[in-house]
Structure formats: C-alpha cells, structure tokens
Structure 1
C-alpha cells in the first residue's frame, strides 16, 4: 500500500500544492494549503513546476514532517533516519537540477566512521511506481506509468571465457513472466539479440543489450539451452503475478555414518509482499504456502535457501520466511527490533508505530538440523534481515560470498499532487531510509555486509539445483556428508575452464536492494 499523503480535507485545498510552485500564491511557511489563484491553469503546469513540488515535498517528509505529505509542519515528525546530520537546505535552490540531485546531496552527510563514506547509498525515488507495485502487490507493472507494460521477467550476467570472448547467461527467469513461460531458465546462453550475434564487451553493445532487455517492449533473442540445442523467440513485455521462487527441489544425501539426510532447496529472487494493498493474499503467499507444505510433507531436516540474487523487498515476506523456518522454541519470542530516528522514537506511542516484532505463536512445521543460505554481494536488506533474525534461535550457515550490507529500511511515501479539479498527478514514491533493525541478540549494523562460513563461486552457466557442479551446493553437500565444506577432490582443468562467472562491471545495476515495511507505512499514514 502506498502511504497516502492527503487527508480528504487536504485534497479539496491542494489545487496549487503548497508553496512549491513558485508562481502560486502560497509561501513556504504556510501551514495550510491555498486554492490556486484564478486564471492559473493547473492542468498544464510545466514539468519544472512538478519537479519543484517533488523536491519540496520530499525534503519536508524527510527533514520536517510527514503530516499531510510534508505540507503541515505543525504536526508530524521528520522521517529520515539521519535527518539530524543534514544541515538546513533550501530544496528549491536552483543548484539542485531535480529531486534526485537534491536527494544525492542529502544522502552525503551522515558518514560511516568505519568506511569514511556515507552510510546512505540506498535512498532513491521510484519515478513510475513500477517497483512499488512489484514489491507491494506482486505485479510486474504499474498503471502510474502509462508506457510501462511489464517486463520480460528475466535477468542476465555477462561472463568471459579463456579467450576473453563474451557470453551472456540467464541468471534467473520468473516462471510467470514471458521468458519463463517459454521455458527460459538459469544457465541458458543468449547467443543473439534482435538478430545480432556479435556478442562483445564494447560499450555500444553492452548498452544496446541492456536497453533491449530492460527498456523495450519487444525483443528477439537467440538462446542456447543447457543441452546445447538452440531456439530463437520473440518476447513481448506483459504484466504478470510475480513468482519469486524460481526453483525448488528435495534431495537426499548420506553422511559418513551412513545416515540419510533429506534436504529442501529453493531459490528466491525477490521479496514481493505476501499481502497486497487491499489486504488480500498475493501469489507470493500462495507459492510460499505450497513450498513449505511440500517440505513438511517430505520430512526435510536440512534447508538450503538460495538468496544469491535477492536484493530484498517487503518486510512482511521476510517475517513469513522466518516464521516458516524458525524452530518451535522461537514461537512468541522476539524476532527483531526496529529503531527509528530519535524524534520518532520519543513519540513512538503517539505515531502508533511499533518497535518490536515477535515470531508467531506457532512457527515452523519443519524439524531442521541446519539452515544454509547461499549469498553474494547481491543478497541485500530483507534477505539479510531474514537470516539475521534466525541466528539467535538455530544454526544458520552462509555459503558463497559476503552479502551486500543493508541493515536499514524504508517506509514508502507516495508523493502526488492535485490540480484545481482534484485530478491526481503522480510524482514519485520516496524510498528514504527510515529505520534500522537488530535481531533478538542485538546484532545488526552490518553496513559492510555479513561474512560467510564458506566461500564458493557463482557459476552462471550451471543449472539450478546441480549438486555436482554448483560450487555453493557442492560445499553444502560436503558439509552435510563429511562435516567439512571442502573436499579433497579437484576439478579437472577442462571442467574448470568450462565454468563461467559473471562480471558485474559489464552490466549496469538494475535490481532493487532494500526492505520496505508496508505495514508501518499504513500505520504512519493513519496517525496524521
């Protein structure tokens, strides 16, 4: 759910939006909105006026007050976690070309003494609401953006072979998306893009590839499947219900004492919310219910959760996973604490926010000896929250590489304006850091990431669930069978030469790293 920034009374008054439009008759210190002066055509405001509106309201919400969407400084409180370290700024200063440049400056003031860099390299504006709808409602498109018709439901990585030739591999594909619906999956190689089979690392090609996958409505891709066969298909973007679980299986290993261990494994690429803005269960909830029912019915006693590409999402889904995994002893106990800025904490009961989250009265139906998480530098925020919350209550082991490092999260503020005819104009969703989390042992603050118990490589041309060639699963199977993550066996040089690792610098970042608490968004909305 978007945080609704307008009371019904405010809607009738916000024709010219408070003091932001320089050519309206309101001043920055107005405490109530004024109607637009007669003769002003609010239905055809220049883009710069809307951008000024966004800059002003964003600044107010973060630094002054969230009441009435930043319009009422006499009520409400600042929401930005590091607001006290940001000096007084005139958000309408011409040196800030747009709201994004203003936000970049605001993010630069709170410095992490460990890294000597800003804490906040997370906050951003979602300009079309697509991300918000993905996370909140589990839908791949958003009606705010008339030109957005969804996506292809895949992500890719670029690797080099021994001869420095570039190869494009599918990292994952949503089963419900256009790519997943034709069988595209991890490890397939893209061998042509819109008829161009000259795959290279030139900047021109890399940019054209990115635009073809993420900024177009149709693309024709040539694929080489894992079995070596090829296929060419044209994909068209569409809106679909997100299925965050891209693969799952159950397998059995036998340890050195000849004891069989049943292992459940699943890979999850995002944390779409389990509840939508109307309070209804999403497809994500349905999929996760079925997954854990399957694991329970098959009697698994070890679980592998693959978060290698999971940048996080809705906090409600993290809480669901923790309740589904945690042992019975955790039932009713503290799951994690939420810490807001000092002003919100001082008035926490007034704003009706909660600072503690507990496990459900009844937790997992699983009887787990271990839970393993496969992680990389793409594992962020809600993913890190999930595994961190479990540490006080059960053995939690990480395999892969250090996580991204984001112990802080967002409350979603939807910023819109209304013209004199009360027509809404969507501007952006503001995701500025609002809170920090710590588990029941007080552990948090992992701004530089969470270390792994065992290092493993991410070979992008290997299928999901391959316990013989996936370096992460091999390490976990070794641990379960021998008690050690490593084995004495060495890969043959020919086999090693065939394994590919993606090079992050060859693709612009397009994923989301964060955790969003939509329930607290609803609470803070209703408090003013």
Structure 2
C-alpha cells in the first residue's frame, strides 16, 4: 500500500536521461494510469547521477508538490508536515553529498519550543526496501536486501555486579530462524562464532552486531534459563512475521480473575500490498479469539520493545480491545499540513478514523500497557486512542514520544527505454494524530502510572521476577503497585538490565499509514 512515486507526468532532464515520474496505486493488479497533461512550468533541471535524481524528487515531494500534470492546486501540495518552516533549498547544491545529507538539513528547521531541539528526528530514507516489505507485507526480507532475510531476534547487553558483560536475547520471532529452534527471551548468548570472551570493548560489540544483523549466518552458543547449553549455526531467512512473541492467560490467586497477557514486538501490517490478510492478522485473530474464549477481564499488552509500524495494525488492536461503548465513535484524528488539510476532500484524504461498528468480543475492566523508551509511534497511538473510552494504565518507563507518522513514497526513475530503477522509500513526517479527546503532541513521551524495571534475563510471563508483571499483578490484587525498593533486595541480585549505550538501536520507530498512501496514489 505504499505510494509508488515514479515522477508524475513531468519530463525532467537528468544527466541526459528523461525520467518519467508516474503515480501508481500499490496493489500489484492495478494498471498504471495514462500520463496526465504536461506541467505548466518548463524549468529544466539537470543532474549528474541517480543520487541527484533522488535528492530532487525527495525535495519535490516534501516541499513542492507530490503530483504534477496540472492536476494539483496552483499552490502545490507539499507533503512534509513542517514544510512551511523549511526555507527554499537547492537540492543540487554540492554541500549535499547525497539525499540523506539533504534530508538531515531539512529536519533541523522545525524547532520544538519545549525542548529547543528539532521536532523531526524521525524522517529517513529506506534505500533497500527491507523495512517497507517488513511493515507492509509482513515479510522479513525482499529483493533489495543485502542478505536473505534475518535471524528474527534482538539482544541486549547487561553487566553483573562484577562488571562482567552478558548478552541476552530480548525476543525472537517464532517464525524466524532463531525462534524455530526455540530461542526466546532470557536465553543468554555465551559465544559468537566461537568467541566466548564476552566484553564491552567497542571492537567486540561491533563484531557481535555485525555477526547477528549484517551477516548471512552466525554460530551462536546459548545458555537457557535452566542452565543447559546449545550451540547452533543460524542462517538468515525470509519468513512470515509473527509479531506476537509470547501470550498466556493466568488466574489471580484469591479472586479467580483471568488476565490475558501478550508481548508484541512490531506492527507489521494486517493487510499486504495485494489487499490480502497477512500472517500478522492470522496471529492476532487467533490471539483475541483465545482471550475471548477464556473470558479474560483484564488485559496486559507488552510493548516494551515495540517501535510501531503500520497504522492499520494499531486500528485492529484498538477495535479488539475497546469496550462496546466505543463502537462507531471517533478513534483518532489525523492532521496534515495546512495545504493538504485545505484540499483533503479534493485528494480523497480522510482526517478522522472511527472504531468499528462492532468492537471487541472481550469485556475488559481495564487494560495495562508495559512500555519503555523503545515504545514508539503506532504503539503509542494504540494506547492513546483507548484512553477516552476505558481505564488504561502504563507500567514501566516513559514512552519514546512520536505522535507523528509517515506516508510511504517509493521513489524510482525510468530511462528512455522504460527500464525502472528503484532509488529509495521516503519516510518523511506527513501527519500528526490526536485521540477523541484531542490529546496528542507527546513529543517527549507518555508518562507511566508506575515505574518498573526491564530485567532482560527474565523469561516472558514470569510474574515473580518480571518487575512489570509483578507490579501489575500486585495492583490487580491490592490496588497498589509494588514499590521500587525491591530492586535492591537479595532476590533481585541476579537480575540484569540492558545498557542501551552498549548496542546501537536496531529497529524502526514510527507509524506508517499505508491506507492513506493508497488513497493519495489512486487519485493521481
């Protein structure tokens, strides 16, 4: 459902090659519409490379207009949310070595007066299409990938009381190479390609990161929570993403209250580029049917590592969790820049999203979200949308802070022989969201109701040692969260927290509205 921008109608001279940009809908069975009438301006732009083409097209989409051919208002339709705060720039200026450097400069102009820093530390270019395929189609790899898929796991690095380093698996996709052999949260990685000298030296940390995320295969030694070990060579693979890495239903002692719990690491879309249900939707359908069948009355949603993804999946979750009273009411509002808002109906953009006519089969008294600084965008959207309609509690740490999102623009060029060359997917901020109470703007994150620690060597669902679950269960039982003093107790001495600075962030923070991308592209 991403917007395939091949350059609308206009003929632009780029290094002697005529590049024709055409809007097409993302569904594979759609036919490309005929070229619209020529542009009224005759500006000739010359460039020396595909990188210059990318710089020019990116700048046009963000700052000038996303469509040509005389079919847009005279004022143009820039798509960048903060376009009005960016001065006129020359994308061909030699000081911009590439499109990324131009984008970096464009991101500096809109300043958040609260933080005195730029609002936009989110926009980026996906140059190989891997992220787009992962989020939109729920597939771990695609043709532009340097390797065939991935291992389907992420890790954190912790230190014990003696300063010794330990590597722990944070989560593993059940369908990925690691998940298929049983790897899951709490497993310790004790060797990497035969090297068991685990340390915090930069050389070692870099080698581990490259071995796990940038290599076609790696041999890892694991120690399970029960002390047993296994060594396995894992090879990257393409697989259907299952975002639900763990789920269970447990009964509270004394009250008999049934509580559903699940952890979800990404928001891969529930609908792919061909309009078909993805494995993500299948997994979520099975999950909520299970919860409904067991009659849960409280729900715990674990977003501690969830950086977001497709808006359609956030809407699915909100409809699956919301009470019956929310049916048909406003879920959230979408705010675009002033020019897009002024012509929203003309280009077919909707600015409101409502709950389904029939919402959840669940009858919940409350919902708890486990969050951290890695909880971002679409996951923040999900919990924010529910707040006007039900009791929502956050436990863990303040969220990342991203109330804005993307429409995906896929940029490519055609030469005079009609050969298409992919350049990049542009993810530049296009909109902001607000819930039914008008609440949004959480650029510095959403505060929690109770602070809890993320102990990375504790398996999923451990209500005794997982500080977050322990706090929530205590609240459900006594009406009070567990105090933070327990972190210093003897029983907690073997629990480990990951040190974020010891590993680069691996993952995506954002929300992408592929449906609105399709709406825009279908009209142009």
TM-score surpassing 0.5? yes
| 2:432 counterpart residue number | 436
Gaps of 5+ in 2: 20-37
Q: After TM superposition, what 4+ stretches of structure 1 lie above 4 angstroms from structure 2?
A: 22-26, 68-76, 487-493
Q: 1:495 deviation in Å?
A: 2.6
Tell me how far apart the structure 1 counterparts of residues 111 and 215 of structure 2 sit (CA, whole Å): 38
Q: Which of residues 242, 251, 271 in structure 2 aligns to 1:275?
A: 271
Write out per-residue CA displacement over residues 354-402 of structure 1, whole angstroms, 9 at most, x where no aligned residue: 0000000000110101100000000000000000000000000000000
Q: 1:493 deviation in Å?
A: 4.2
Tell me how far apart the structure 2 counterparts of residues 369 and 69 of structure 1 sit (CA, whole Å): 54
| 1:313 counterpart residue number | 309
Taking the TM superposition and a 5 Å limit, the aligned residue runs for 1:57-136 are 57-67=57-67, 77-136=77-136
Q: Which of residues 384, 393, 399 in structure 1 aligns to 2:395?
A: 399
**TM-score with structure 1 setting the length:** 0.92
Deviates more, 1:485-494 or 1:50-59: 485-494
State the SS of the aligned residue for 2:347: coil
2:416 corresponds to 1:408 = no
Tell me how far apart the structure 1 counterparts of residues 53 and 41 of structure 2 sit (CA, whole Å): 13
Q: Is the 8 A contact 2:6 2:411 kept in 1?
A: no
Q: Is the 8 A contact 1:318 1:382 kept in 2?
A: yes
2:505 corresponds to 1:506 = no
Taking the TM superposition and a 5 Å limit, the aligned residue runs for 1:416-455 are 416-455=412-451
Tell me how far apart the structure 1 counterparts of residues 68 and 229 of structure 2 sit (CA, whole Å): 56
Tell me how far apart the structure 2 counterparts of residues 315 and 395 of structure 1 sit (CA, whole Å): 22
Q: 1:182 deviation in Å?
A: 0.4
2:150 corresponds to 1:178 = no
State the SS of the aligned residue for 1:109: coil
Q: 1:420 deviation in Å?
A: 1.8
Tell me how far apart the structure 2 counterparts of residues 202 and 302 of structure 1 sit (CA, whole Å): 44
Tell me how far apart the structure 2 counterparts of residues 493 and 348 of structure 1 sit (CA, whole Å): 57
| 2:380 counterpart residue number | 384
| 1:358 counterpart residue number | 354
After superposition, the Cα gap between the structure-2 partners of 1:524 and 1:80, relative to the gap in structure 1 and judged at 3 Å, is same
| 2:53 counterpart residue number | 53
Q: 1:76 deviation in Å?
A: 5.0
Taking the TM superposition and a 5 Å limit, the aligned residue runs for 1:135-174 are 135-145=135-145, 147-174=146-173
- Count of residues paired in the alignment: 504
Tell me how far apart the structure 1 counterparts of residues 260 and 248 of structure 2 sit (CA, whole Å): 6
Q: 1:423 deviation in Å?
A: 1.3
After superposition, the Cα gap between the structure-2 partners of 1:492 and 1:521, relative to the gap in structure 1 and judged at 3 Å, is closer
Deviates more, 1:194-203 or 1:385-394: 194-203
Q: Is the 8 A contact 1:323 1:364 kept in 2?
A: yes
**TM-score with structure 2 setting the length:** 0.92
Q: Is the 8 A contact 1:124 1:431 kept in 2?
A: yes
2:246 corresponds to 1:250 = no
| 2:39 counterpart residue number | 31
Write out per-residue CA displacement over residues 159-197 of structure 1, whole angstroms, 9 at most, x where no aligned residue: 011011110000000000000000000000000000111
After superposition, the Cα gap between the structure-2 partners of 1:522 and 1:70, relative to the gap in structure 1 and judged at 3 Å, is farther
After superposition, the Cα gap between the structure-2 partners of 1:492 and 1:442, relative to the gap in structure 1 and judged at 3 Å, is closer
Q: Is the 8 A contact 1:402 1:449 kept in 2?
A: yes
Tell me how far apart the structure 1 counterparts of residues 445 and 18 of structure 2 sit (CA, whole Å): 49
After superposition, the Cα gap between the structure-2 partners of 1:73 and 1:415, relative to the gap in structure 1 and judged at 3 Å, is farther
2:370 corresponds to 1:374 = yes
Tell me how far apart the structure 2 counterparts of residues 398 and 247 of structure 1 sit (CA, whole Å): 19
After superposition, the Cα gap between the structure-2 partners of 1:357 and 1:385, relative to the gap in structure 1 and judged at 3 Å, is same
Tell me how far apart the structure 2 counterparts of residues 489 and 455 of structure 1 sit (CA, whole Å): 11
State the SS of the aligned residue for 1:265: strand
After superposition, the Cα gap between the structure-2 partners of 1:220 and 1:57, relative to the gap in structure 1 and judged at 3 Å, is same
State the SS of the aligned residue for 2:476: helix
Write out per-residue CA displacement over residues 224-269 of structure 1, whole angstroms, 9 at most, x where no aligned residue: 0111111000000010000000000000103xxx422100000000
Taking the TM superposition and a 5 Å limit, the aligned residue runs for 1:187-202 are 187-202=186-201
Tell me how far apart the structure 2 counterparts of residues 449 and 436 of structure 1 sit (CA, whole Å): 14
Write out per-residue CA displacement over residues 182-218 of structure 1, whole angstroms, 9 at most, x where no aligned residue: 0000000000000111111111011111100110000
| 2:262 counterpart residue number | 266
Gaps of 5+ in 1: 37-45
Q: Is the 8 A contact 1:144 1:426 kept in 2?
A: no
| 2:28 counterpart residue number | none
Q: Is the 8 A contact 1:221 1:232 kept in 2?
A: yes
State the SS of the aligned residue for 1:57: helix
| 2:470 counterpart residue number | 474
| 1:349 counterpart residue number | 345
Q: 1:6 deviation in Å?
A: 3.7
Q: Is the 8 A contact 2:39 2:68 kept in 1?
A: no
Tell me how far apart the structure 2 counterparts of residues 490 and 391 of structure 1 sit (CA, whole Å): 30
Q: 1:422 deviation in Å?
A: 1.0
Alpha-carbon RMSD: 2.3
| 2:4 counterpart residue number | 4
Q: Is the 8 A contact 1:478 1:487 kept in 2?
A: no
Q: Is the 8 A contact 2:39 2:69 kept in 1?
A: no
Q: 1:467 deviation in Å?
A: 0.3
